[in-house]
Structure 1
């Protein structure tokens, strides 16, 4: 199925096939990514519940369309050629429920992890303070095993609900989550995360808020929050700090097109002047090449780079 032209009749046919689910055709993903970059997607759909996700997954399977799942697209670079097939953006699936008797918070995949942290605070539950300033979604945080300030998703998530590409729903818990450094089982099995269960610890709300405020204060002081970015670009190499390596290599402030190595934190690349996905990718490659030549250290991307050239 060729959806690149975004034909109006095709759009109507797709909407009919998907029972009225919100669908956009031939739309730039730069409207949704934190970097404000990215080419067009053939189809973007915005499911509001599990039934709609199953409809979309089945539709992609029946039509033999590639299927890409996004949340807040905060730790992501989409190339300028965009994404073929069907893109699911789950941000409308954003319910968060507290189960006080179990000291648990259950959050849908599209909810912001910031909101989950706030919900936990209001319920006097500790454990998500580290996530108080992470801009990603629950699904993305699980996918990447997001972490900050000594905390990680693996420390607090006890189970996730996923839908397979065949439309089946499974719960995964314990060792089956296969959490590692910026890794989870979802990266291997390509399941669609539907929700996650956080097991937390009762604590004084004043103490919880103090920790959240401390982390957010440190984040604001050290990170370039005033510009669009994809967050921390590289995984930390063992025994080294990425930002320090980039500074020592003389790359802080270096630009490719409109993308710049942040002058505030060299581990970030910011969009300072209408950057493109190619600007980001080319600057990443320049950094990796320079660090290897200077220190014989390979910087591995933490940010996901997807889509076509």
Structure 2
């Protein structure tokens, strides 16, 4: 085995990686070499993985011990506060490098002996802020008070909240996509590039039909329009923001209504697999991210009576 820098060059030369990946991997590996150089009190070019620990007798070096997993652990723990992307790249780079050493020199596969576990540093997914039941009622109250197109906006947001449909898919539908008798919407092309059938709550199909008749919407026209033109995602988000402000509710993303739908369905006892089908997800893990634990949703609920009790209790302390 050659010196660390030379072995790194050989590894990058034979590794089945793109030039971009090689450049990305080389940076943390060089940092690891510099870490070893500092520990050994030598320059980077003098680092040799078979001579990391020096054994002396009467001040004279008589033999050496190779690198062990402890120093790799120390290096990773030292950089544990770095962002997860760097940690992941570094861990993968070290894994690939030591596999190369194992295959070429039968050097121990030290990365299999580490106590450092990358999974412990993986940031948890953040649940988006969603509207709970009480907030949804206030939101619809705001629509009834402030909308200039009450029938359109009530129907639009009712469909979003009761179907979990994506806004882009909902804005694409025409009368031809509605099965009034069986109360279903047929989406020809979804985000997943597949067709999808959306069941409607009782009476909603008739409401859609009535809305189209009263507004002279033709069979091939988009159902939701603004001044004779198809309504856009941006316009719907503007409307949502306007109604939230007037209801003194926190700003949430338009897509969060889809999360609210999934969470309330789950809370009411719907199976996660059923919700997955309604949301047209390909994997159950995606659906699980949509179903917020009750303690996350309830975190945003403030009850005035409780605040009063807490204040009185505090005064007694």
TM-score bracket for the superposition, by shorter chain length = under 0.3
Q: Specify the structure having the higher radius of gyration (Cα).
A: 2
- Which structure carries more helix by proportion? 2
Higher relative contact order at CA 8 Å, sep ≥6: structure 1 or structure 2? 1
- Which structure carries more strand by proportion? 1
Compute the TM-score of the two structures, normalised by the length of structure 2.
Answer: 0.19
